[in-house]
Amino acid sequence: MPNQPLIIENLTFKYRTRPELALENISLKVNPGELLLIAGSSGCGKTTLARCINGLIPRSYRGERSGQVLLHGREVADMQISEIAQVVGTLLQDPERQIVASNVFNEIAFGPENLGLPRAEIINRVDQAISRLNLEYLRERETFNLSGGEKQKVALAGVLTMNPSILMLDEPLASLDPASAHEALEVFRSLADEGKTVILVEHRVEDAIDARPDRLLYMEDGKIKYLGPIRDLPPEIDHTKVKLPAPWVVQRVKALDKVPAATPKPEAGERGEPLVVFENVDFRYDEEYPLVLQNVNLKIYPGDLIAVLGPNGAGKSTLVKHAIGLLKPTRGRVLVEGEDTRKMSVAQIARTLGYVFQSPTHMLYAPTVREELEFGPKNLEFDPASIPQYVNESLLTVNLKGLDEYPPLGLSFGQQKRTTIAAVLAMRSKILIMDEPTAGQDFANYTRFMKALCDTSDNAQSILTANFAATIFITHDLDLAVTYANRVLLFGDKHIIADGKPQDVLKDDQLLRKYRVRPTSLLRLNLDLLPRTGRFLPAESLAAFA
């Protein structure tokens, strides 16, 4: 059926390096104009299925494959990769792996240039993609200086210029601020309405529902567990494995009659001497560039669990890079435990602050995961006898036990991200700073490690928990702030717009939307129930009050 964009029949695949099946007996048909949402926990087979569709299997990833994958009636394995690229446009999880050009216009034009299209046609396609994604303000920018979210938008524009009939989107929302994610979802829906086939692989199911998917494909252990409409919560879907709308979770928990007790969060406030102080900090990357930070004043205290929210490109990552000494203020100063960062090396600061970069490829280099985790403690001259304990505890916290002898760059994006978190945990820094910790993570995995890092109750057994004096996470996942933070910083217009308790900062709907933070169902439910709960709680715990 040449007009059927995608037919998969009895597809089974096993990676050469793994003993278990990655996919088992997958069969489905996807129609023109259909938006299919694929969800499931890490390792369920979502990315492997995507690789079978876009031709990376069997070319870049080797193993045993049986069954058929047909693109407009042609078997993927029989097509040239250049042919597949014109049919299936793929957006990768990590834009760092996709961007090749030094400036935005050239990056977006890269695909059609390689097709040998006339110059006028290339410019027309680039203009259309820029207009569709509202990227005019980025047209002349260098890709190196873009934020992670801006790089994701540019990578998407590059895919659109190829004009593929099938769009394969692997975690396209991971680096986008909530308003940009909503805009991207509207674009995906409109592309489907225009006749394209859109396949959306996404952990953020609640957000993805905004795109009004025609069907949901839910996977577990390489198999299809559910395929059908998503008007409400299908019973086959495990609410502990994927992030779902809060009312659905409350309804499920009530039906199961298993309401978990909520872990208490410490109250934020001035407790002792501040660990980090920003005093009237301005920063610009070069005299030719405008200020990125302007008159920033901030104190971080022991016990703080801080969520940093704000738009893509606002300067959130630039802010925390000042704390770890990677950047020095143009004006003002940053103090770490009373010492000016201008007088400290990055290695000295690393004893106090551990930083997890937004893109894991900026941190990973070692031959194995274990060696990656040992590197920091060895260079900080830890007692050699204690290093194995720190490494093993870190592996357990981020659910990587058993992968310690794997090469980090051979892991999935989500596993790479957890490797970088574990590497910083093993360094035992006083303050943990994570840039987009949930990118590429399924709900179950990030819930596990965030609980371990933020549980300050007397029942907490983890030596990691006892180690960190403060934790800071930059995130576009508003529910992460609702669930784990005791202090929220809203950053925009080059400085801190709001700083306070989550229930105080996050109740101002108008302010949030101004800075591209869209209220979620969990936030709305928490605000409704706050008079009864007295604090913000995860959806499962709200079932006791709803």
Domain that holds residue 35: 6-244
pLDDT attached to residue 147:
85
CA distance 507 to 503: 6
Number of H helices, E strands in the chain: 21, 20
Residue 142, in any domain of the structure: yes
Q: Which long-range contacts (CB under 8 A, 24 or more apart) does 81-86 make?
A: 81/55, 84/54, 84/55, 85/111, 85/162, 85/164, 86/115, 86/162, 86/164
Report which DSSP code applies to 175. Answer: T
CATH of the domain at 16: 3.40.50.300
As given in the structure block, the two tokens for residue 513 are 């939307």
Sheet arrangement for strand 23-30: 23-30, 6-15, 63-71, 74-75
349 Cβ contact partners less than 8 Å away, ≥ 6 residues apart? 323, 324, 325, 336, 341
Residue 39, in any domain of the structure: yes
Cβ count near 272 (within 10 Å) = 9
Instruction: Provide the whole-model pTM.
Output: 0.87
Residue 363, in any domain of the structure: no
Q: Scan for tokens 């180690």, then name that residue.
A: 467
As given in the structure block, the two tokens for residue 469 are 């004096």
- Which amino acid makes up residue 280? N
CA distance 223 to 206: 22
pLDDT attached to residue 441:
84
Contact 51, 61 (CB under 8 A): yes
Residue 447, in any domain of the structure: no
Q: Which of 291, 356, 363, 290 lies closest to 323 in space, CA to CA? A: 356
* 162-185 as b/e: b if 16+ CB within 10 A: bebbbbbbbbbbbbbbbbbbbbbb
Burial of 532 from C-beta contacts in 10 A (0-12 / 13-18 / 19+): exposed
**Sign (positive or negative) of CA dihedral 257, 263, 264, 265:** negative
237 conformational bin, left if phi > 0, alpha if psi -120 to 50, beta if neither:
beta
Strand 197-201 relative to strand 35-39: parallel, antiparallel, unpaired?
parallel
Burial of 257 from C-beta contacts in 10 A (0-12 / 13-18 / 19+): exposed
C-alpha gyration radius of the chain = 23
Residue 36, in any domain of the structure: yes
247 Cβ contact partners less than 8 Å away, ≥ 6 residues apart? 521, 525
pLDDT in tens, the chain (546 residues): 457 999 999 999 999 877 889 999 999 999 999 999 999 987 789 989 999 999 999 888 889 999 999 999 999 999 998 899 889 999 987 888 889 999 999 999 999 998 899 999 999 999 999 999 999 999 999 998 888 889 989 999 999 999 999 999 998 988 888 998 999 999 999 999 999 999 999 988 888 998 999 999 999 999 999 999 987 778 888 888 888 899 999 999 988 877 777 766 767 666 789 999 999 999 998 888 889 999 999 999 998 999 999 998 899 999 999 999 999 999 999 999 999 999 999 889 988 999 999 888 888 989 999 999 999 999 989 999 999 999 999 999 898 988 999 899 878 788 888 999 999 999 988 899 999 998 878 888 888 888 888 875 555 445 454 567 899 999 999 999 999 999 999 999 999 999 999 999 999 999 999 999 999 999 999 999 999 999 999 999 999 998
User: What CA–CA distances, in Å, run from 333 to 302, 328, 347?
Assistant: 20, 8, 19
Element (H, E) at 198: strand 197-201
Strand 487-492 relative to strand 495-500: parallel, antiparallel, unpaired?
antiparallel
Backbone angles phi, psi at 139, to 5 degrees: -50, -45
Looking at the structure of the chain, the number of domains it has is 1
Residue 80, in any domain of the structure: yes
Q: Which of 478, 472, 403, 414 lies closest to 444 in space, CA to CA? A: 414
* 309-343 as b/e: b if 16+ CB within 10 A: bbbbbbbbbbbbbbbbbebebbebbbbbbeeebee
pLDDT attached to residue 215:
96
Backbone angles phi, psi at 415, to 5 degrees: -70, -35
Contact 154, 143 (CB under 8 A): yes
Cβ count near 125 (within 10 Å) = 21
As given in the structure block, the two tokens for residue 27 are 């069969």
As given in the structure block, the two tokens for residue 299 are 């104190």
pLDDT attached to residue 524:
97
Contact 361, 348 (CB under 8 A): no
Sheet arrangement for strand 215-220: 88-91, 166-170, 197-201, 35-39, 215-220, 223-228
pLDDT attached to residue 167:
95
Strand 353-356 relative to strand 339-340: parallel, antiparallel, unpaired?
unpaired
| HEC assignment per residue over 245-277 | CHHHHHHHHHHHCCCCCCCCCCCCCCCCCCCEE
Residue 405, in any domain of the structure: no
Contact 444, 420 (CB under 8 A): no
Cβ count near 266 (within 10 Å) = 14
Q: Which of 288, 289, 290, 294 lies closest to 329 in space, CA to CA? A: 294
Residue 321, in any domain of the structure: no
